[in-house]
Amino acid sequence: MSLTRHEPANPRLQRSELAVPGSQPALFQKALDGEADCVFLDLEDAVAPADKEQARKHVVAGLLQHDWKGRGKTVSVRINGIDTHYMYRDVVDVVEQAGHRL
């Protein structure tokens, strides 16, 4: 077993939080430019069932293409519930492909 040391993160005041539907990638840049301190890219109830798979791809791309941390944003992803068949792919795809950007 190995131990990787990381520098502690500087605490940031989270004054406001903005939910952005994962199915609306055009809104990612607006969220980045906005005043909210925390942005969560939503894969759950803001996304219609028929759009879930594509929304997941948009979220991964949005995490990789935008410099959330550099713009002072805390970014997270709201995945689908554990009782849904979407949850597993949400976790695996987001973490494997873009987890280092969270």
Domains of the chain: 17-101 (3.20.20.60)
Tens digit of each residue's pLDDT (9 = 90 or more) over 22-54: 999 999 999 999 999 999 999 999 999 999 999
Nearest alpha-carbon partner for 40 in 81, 76, 68: 76
What distance in Å separates the CA atoms of residue 74 and residue 72, rounded to the nearest whole number? 7
Tens digit of each residue's pLDDT (9 = 90 or more) over 68-97: 999 999 999 999 999 999 999 999 999 999
- Decide: pTM greater than 0.95: no
pLDDT for position 44: 98
Sheet strand arrangement including 17-21: 17-21, 38-42, 74-78
For 39, residues 6+ apart whose C-beta sits below 8 A from its C-beta are 17, 18, 20, 31, 32, 68, 73, 74, 75, 76
